[in-house]
Amino acid sequence: MKREGVKSLTMMILLAVIVLCLLVLSVLTLSTAAADLRLSEKYAAQVQSDQHVEAQAQSWLAQLDEKRRDGEIEPGAYTMHFGEAASKYLEVTVDVKENAITPIAWQWVAVTESSGMDNLWRGTQS
């Protein structure tokens, strides 16, 4: 009689442990999937923001060309920075000639702040 009760209690404990394990695993799976989705959404927003900055630069090119045609600007190289992000900006350099306008540099520049580790070993200097 007593053995029956012990058997039943063991089964209950075993079931509780299994249920608990499965629940923990499922919560982990769900949180990983949610984190993946959040990361994807962040990436999508970042790409959209970058493209917006690129569009601003293209618009600047068009305005510069219009000014060149109207004779409002002198021939030469012009550089402009675009973007409001603290971590990077788009640097565009164009060569303005009398008859045409040519982009000569179009690159994203990362803004790096000094981390106070200027005394790190930089390798052997020959």
Task: Summarize as ranges the residues that interact with other proteins (CB under 8 A).
Answer: 1, 4-5, 8, 11-12, 15, 19, 22-23, 26-27, 29-30, 32-34, 36-37, 39-41, 43-44, 47-48, 51-52, 54-56, 58-59, 61-63, 65-66, 100-106
Whole-Å CA distances, 79 to 97, 98, 107 = 14, 17, 11
| Residue with smaller CB distance to other proteins, 7 or 111 | 7
Give the separation between CA 70 and CA 101, rounded to whole angstroms: 13
CB of 27 to other proteins, least distance (A): 7
| Residue with smaller CB distance to other proteins, 105 or 111 | 105
Ranges of beta strands (E only) in 4-98 are: 76-82, 88-96
| Residue with smaller CB distance to other proteins, 61 or 80 | 61
CB of 86 to other proteins, least distance (A): 22
Secondary structure class of 84 (helix, strand, coil) = coil
Give the separation between CA 49 and CA 51, rounded to whole angstroms: 5
CB of 111 to other proteins, least distance (A): 21
Give the separation between CA 12 and CA 76, rounded to whole angstroms: 83
